[in-house]
Structure 1
Amino acid sequence: MTKTINDVYMQLYKRFKEADEPQPSLAARELTAYACKADKAHTAEWGHVYLDDATVDFAHLLCDRCLDGEPLAYILGEWDFCGLTFQVDRSVLIPRADTERLCELVVERARQKVSPRILDLCCGSGCIGIAAAHMVEDARVAAVDNSDGALRISRENARRLGVQRRYLALKADVRFRPPNGMGQFDIIVSNPPYVTRAEMHGLDKSVYQYEPHEALFGGEDGLDFYRSICAKWSSLLAPDGVMLFECGYRQATQVAAIMEENRFAGIGIAEDLSGVQRIVYGYNANLEPDAV
């Protein structure tokens, strides 16, 4: 029997629902649109478009992969963050809603400056720095990662989102001192690897088997990158500059203590959009600032 796009959507929705997928409607809609080359913004038309058997089979094959644990974002090759669509592959972590409040704080601070300079450390897909450059038209962003794959993806995302002239991606390892000649930045932001050794073994299959471990593992206690960045990269912070971190849901006070040990001023903790204390910030000790 010939099936419409909507028929396929309902079939995938039922499969996801029976498998206890947290967001069965979202997963079914995204996979259906991708497999059927359909516009997910015009689902009302899906009931009138008929498909060949190969397309139907392809949609179910993609569903099989998703139900087997492969992240939907990697199947689609893209994911949304702060209202923008970012290209992703298995060389970068999938952008998550947990990080959107961190990006909002970066944007709020950047808008207080003229031609602000932003440094995004452990940039991955580039979602934080690129979203900030997209929302603050005079911002200039330098992005750092130690992964060639991540740098490739971040540069492509900057190009696709039209900010490539104000976005520079550099290869460097934040566990060592920064390259010479980088200058100073009004904002340094980082969502570094912060999963502990014990937590690595308890990660969901879709994370542990598919997302890059080097972008997840933060050392025995998950805090190695915070120590290095605070000790070795804070010299790049402008006199009234702010450094902001994302951290694990139980790490905020520990990250704040690391910033205190490294003589940051005005240290504070903020919640993400789900009310979790996931953001830690501090200012250059040379100038006592207003809070974020």
Structure 2
Amino acid sequence: MMSLLASSSQNTTLHELIMQGEQTLRAYHKQDAAIDARLLMCYLMGCKDITLILNRDEIVSGQLEESYLYLIARRTQGIPLQYLTKSQEFMALDFYVDERVLIPRQDTETLVEAIINISKKQPMHQMIEIGSGSGCISISLAHYMPDVQITAIDISQAALDVTLKNAMYHGVDHRINCIKSDLLSDFKGEPKSIDLIVSNPPYISKEECKDLMQEVNDYEPKLALTDGADGLTFYRKISNQVKPFLKPNGILAYEIGYNQGEAVTNILINEGFQDIQIIKDLTGKDRVVIANYFKSS
């Protein structure tokens, strides 16, 4: 924990410094200015929010003040909070994140929860994730499903390095095998050996990218956001490539954009998938598509 003790020439309290940070963020129209101001201080001090309350009247050190105001300045530039703190919670687990990977979203928890629920009725042992990024999907599934082995695939070695870092932190690296591959082109698994293949592919269209928030468009990896086309490119490719590897009645699970349910369903039907269902997120928007291949009789 960074020291709160200051030299005698300093007279700024912890509360005053946080308020200064909040006011600066508000001046730059940051929507969650108060939350961000506190979280950046918690990050610097290595503490919980309650510590800020208990020590609000303590005089801060010059080192802490300088470091804090530097982070506030970086935040005013639009750098996402998670890239500054190197952390994002997902499925009640803490994940390391940086500019190499997309920041995990709560929407994606709908996908993970759907898979866990299905596994209670249909046992799963071998899984593949295509486009692992931070590893939040694979690692959450490995954490909550202790019998599963997962192959985490990404075209970016930098992203796979983050996946492995998070897998090691959560103690599931022995059950996650990372492979650098363009989709399944370099996957050498046995045919009809996989219970489930999951993907949260880049599904934002080229047109929709124009309307993204600055923080997303300027700082998160474009490779993980958009296909540079209609947003459906990877659903077409993946839905075709996975078929040789899925077991009879194997499952393909996607996260989708709120307006892509019908289009992705049609892609799956054309590829011979059955029992297709769309699951909505907490806001009532289409978010997940689940489908079976070679449905058993």
What TM-score results when the alignment is normalised by the length of structure 2? 0.90
Q: CA deviation at 1:25?
A: 3.2
Partner-residue secondary structure (3-state), 2:171? coil
Q: CA deviation at 1:49?
A: 4.1
* Match of residue 98 from structure 2: 89
* Match of residue 166 from structure 2: 157
Give, as a single letter, the amino acid of the residue that structure 1 aligns with 2:262.
T
* Mapped contact 1:158–1:167 kept (Cα < 8 A): yes
Q: CA deviation at 1:195?
A: 1.4
Q: 1:180 aligns with which of 188, 192, 196?
A: 188
For 1:169 and 1:256, locate their aligned partners in 2 and report how far apart those are by CA, in whole Å: 29
* Mapped contact 1:118–1:140 kept (Cα < 8 A): yes
Does residue 197 of the first structure (1) align with residue 206 of the second (2)? yes
* Match of residue 55 from structure 1: 64
* Structure 2, gaps ≥5 residues long: 1-9
* Mapped contact 2:124–2:195 kept (Cα < 8 A): no
* Structure 1, gaps ≥5 residues long: none
Partner-residue secondary structure (3-state), 1:44? helix
* Match of residue 177 from structure 2: 168
User: What is the aligned length?
Assistant: 287
Q: CA deviation at 1:64?
A: 1.4
Does residue 245 of the first structure (1) align with residue 254 of the second (2)? yes
Q: CA deviation at 1:199?
A: 1.7
Q: CA deviation at 1:48?
A: 5.1
Does residue 44 of the first structure (1) align with residue 53 of the second (2)? yes
* Mapped contact 1:247–1:279 kept (Cα < 8 A): yes
Q: CA deviation at 1:182?
A: 4.7
1:117-155 alpha-carbon deviations (Å, 9 max, x no partner): 221111111100101111111121111000010100000
Q: CA deviation at 1:115?
A: 5.6
* 1:7-156 matches, cutoff 5 A: 7-40=16-49, 42-47=51-56, 49-114=58-123, 116-156=125-165
For 1:114 and 1:261, locate their aligned partners in 2 and report how far apart those are by CA, in whole Å: 27
For 2:264 and 2:50, locate their aligned partners in 1 and report how far apart those are by CA, in whole Å: 41
Q: CA deviation at 1:12?
A: 2.2
* Match of residue 226 from structure 1: 235
Give, as a single letter, the amino acid of the residue that structure 2 aligns with 1:180.
K
Between 255-264 and 13-22, the greater mean CA deviation after superposition: 13-22
Q: CA deviation at 1:22?
A: 2.8
Q: CA deviation at 1:254?
A: 0.6
Name the CA shift for 1:284/1:34 in 2 (closer, same or farther; >3 Å): same
Q: CA deviation at 1:260?
A: 0.8
* Mapped contact 1:110–1:116 kept (Cα < 8 A): no
Name the CA shift for 1:196/1:55 in 2 (closer, same or farther; >3 Å): same
Between 219-228 and 278-287, the greater mean CA deviation after superposition: 278-287
Larger C-alpha radius of gyration, 1 or 2? 2
Q: CA deviation at 1:79?
A: 1.0
RMSD: 1.9
* Mapped contact 2:25–2:75 kept (Cα < 8 A): no
For 1:141 and 1:153, locate their aligned partners in 2 and report how far apart those are by CA, in whole Å: 16
Partner-residue secondary structure (3-state), 1:189? strand
